[in-house]
Chains A and B, each alone.
Chain A
Amino acid sequence: MKDKIYAIVFMFVTSSVFVAALSVANMATRDIRSKNQLVKKYRAILKMCDLADDNTDTDTIIDIYKASVKPRKHGDIELYHIYDKAKNKIAIVHELNGQGFWGPIMGYVALEPSGEKIIGVSITKHDETPGLGQRIEEEWFLVQFEDVNINKEVEGKIINFLKSGEAEKPGYMKAITGATRTSDSMEKILNDSLKEFREAFKKDPEGSEVNNAS
């Protein structure tokens, strides 16, 4: 009986010590982790609009974001209006969010202030296979979407990827070799997001102010 009680007390005490230590570590780094998440989002948006790059330090990213980015409500969706130093609107950014092959894929798409052409696409989170689906974050893949007119559709879609073995043709983009499911997911995510943007922007191009914007 004594042994059993000792075992219970031992586990209780050691568990408490370790949980306390982990709580301290968690609290000590909570601010920096939250900041990292925010900075990642800010950097992705600013990079697409050429307002920052990978070497811009964290504090500068935050300053540029606060000065240049204004979230606006357009119906049910929120868009980010981007301004340059002279307060001219240079882009509008919409979130990308959908199911990839292994998990969710998230990112942003930037469009011209007219809402017609894509300026850039950025991927901020995914769980796709390293070396295969992961290539959706590579420049050669993302640069394909620049200058795409979202008012022009081919076979009912704004973004179309070539199928395996197909020769290159106008209006179609290169998918990722060996990552068919990820490429299909990206095609769906981009099309859904761009159609959602197009509809909301058409109804209300200017949008309204957002309270408690982040």
Chain B
Amino acid sequence: MPLKPKPKEVFYKGLWGENPVIRQTLGICSTLAVTNMLSNTLVMCIGLIFVSAFSNLTVSFLRNKTPDRVRMMFQVLVISSYVIIVDIFLKAFMPDMSEKLSAYVGLIITNCIIMGRCEAFARQNTPGISFLDGVASGLGYSFVLILVAVIREVMGMGSILGYKVLGDWWTNWTIMVMPPAAFFVLAIIIWVSRNIIYATEEKGNK
């Protein structure tokens, strides 16, 4: 009988050890698309954490009743339903943010992280720990996105959340708000992070 995963271990893996963006290179599309402004990024992250956690919970809850042959269809049904709820909520209570995020919210459905966790974790574990895994994966994704967004917004617009943080001496790097910059910044973050992880693992093995 497989060992039950421990909450602390699940949380660490989702946040850093098996970070979906840094280690598994998942969810890259939205990492590149919404990170030119921190405000957009934060809303996207909250939306993804919600969808990931509740999708995991629902899939886990019905894991013993779900036929294998339709498990992926069911997972897509669950994920898209929660994404539509997020979209409806934004349109009703945060209309300005909904306008800015528009197409990107719908793209949460296609985010590999959510489907990946439903298939790899929620189907084999109990609802409680699956919910935690969804939250942890969402937080791990958010950590990377927020880092990319801070770098891009500060260098590209001299601001954070719209508030000026750099004086008039700073010349905005227009490339930072364009898609290529997202590639460069993300690549550098993945490179640095993996080196830290490998060095830590080597130290642990010695």
Stretch at the interface among B20-28, B67-75, B118-126: B67-75
Min CB distance A126 to B, Å, is 9
CB < 8 Å neighbour of B156 from A15, A26, A29, A131: A131
Closest 6 CB pairs of A and B: A131-B177, A29-B92, A7-B67, A36-B95, A18-B81, A131-B36
For residue A36, which residues in chain B have a CB less than 8 angstroms away from its CB?
Answer: 91-92, 95
CB–CB B37/A127 < 8 A:
no
Residues 30 to 87 of chain B near chain A (Cβ within 8 Å): 36-37, 40, 62, 65-67, 69-70, 73-74, 77-78, 81, 84-85
For residue B74, which residues in chain A have a CB less than 8 angstroms away from its CB?
Answer: 10-11, 14
Which of A32, A40, A127, A130 neighbours the largest number of chain B CB atoms within 10 Å of its CB? Answer: A130
Given A3-B69, A26-B88, A131-B37, does the pair A40, B95 have CB atoms closer than 8 Å?
A: yes
Q: Does B194 have its Cβ within 8 Å of any Cβ on chain A? A: no
CB–CB B100/A7 < 8 A:
no
**A26 CA to B177 CA in the complex, in Å?**
34
Given A10-B65, A10-B66, A36-B95, does the pair A25, B88 have CB atoms closer than 8 Å?
A: yes
For residue B70, which residues in chain A have a CB less than 8 angstroms away from its CB?
Answer: 7, 10-11
Min CB distance B106 to A, Å, is 13
Given A130-B177, A131-B36, does the pair A33, B157 have CB atoms closer than 8 Å?
A: no
- CB closest residue in chain B, given A19: B81
Q: Does A167 have its Cβ within 8 Å of any Cβ on chain B? A: no
Q: Does A72 have its Cβ within 8 Å of any Cβ on chain B? A: no
A to B CB contacts below 8 Å, 12 in the list: A3-B67, A7-B69, A10-B66, A10-B70, A11-B74, A18-B78, A29-B88, A32-B93, A33-B95, A130-B37, A131-B36, A131-B37
Per-position 1/0 for B166-178, Cβ under 8 A of A: 0000000010011
Q: Does B201 have its Cβ within 8 Å of any Cβ on chain A? A: no
**A177 CA to B157 CA in the complex, in Å?**
13
Per-position 1/0 for A23-62, Cβ under 8 A of B: 0011001001100110010000000000000000000000
**A178 CA to B73 CA in the complex, in Å?**
42
CB–CB A21/B81 < 8 A:
yes
- CB closest residue in chain A, given B81: A18
For residue A10, which residues in chain B have a CB less than 8 angstroms away from its CB?
Answer: 65-67, 70, 74
**A37 CA to B96 CA in the complex, in Å?**
10
For residue B65, which residues in chain A have a CB less than 8 angstroms away from its CB?
Answer: 10
Q: Does B202 have its Cβ within 8 Å of any Cβ on chain A? A: no
For residue A127, which residues in chain B have a CB less than 8 angstroms away from its CB?
Answer: 102-103
For residue A15, which residues in chain B have a CB less than 8 angstroms away from its CB?
Answer: 77
CB–CB A33/B81 < 8 A:
no
Q: Does A6 have its Cβ within 8 Å of any Cβ on chain B? A: yes
Given A130-B36, A130-B37, A130-B40, does the pair A32, B92 have CB atoms closer than 8 Å?
A: yes
Min CB distance A137 to B, Å, is 10
**A177 CA to B172 CA in the complex, in Å?**
11
Residues 84 to 137 of chain A near chain B (Cβ within 8 Å): 125, 127, 129-132
CB < 8 Å neighbour of A178 from B77, B89, B100, B178: B178
CB–CB A132/B178 < 8 A:
yes
Given A29-B92, A130-B36, A132-B177, does the pair A22, B156 have CB atoms closer than 8 Å?
A: no
**A33 CA to B81 CA in the complex, in Å?**
19
Given A11-B74, A14-B77, does the pair A22, B67 have CB atoms closer than 8 Å?
A: no
Given A7-B70, A11-B73, A26-B88, does the pair A177, B81 have CB atoms closer than 8 Å?
A: no
CB–CB A177/B88 < 8 A:
no
For residue A40, which residues in chain B have a CB less than 8 angstroms away from its CB?
Answer: 95
CB < 8 Å neighbour of A22 from B84, B102, B157: B84
For residue B91, which residues in chain A have a CB less than 8 angstroms away from its CB?
Answer: 29, 33, 36
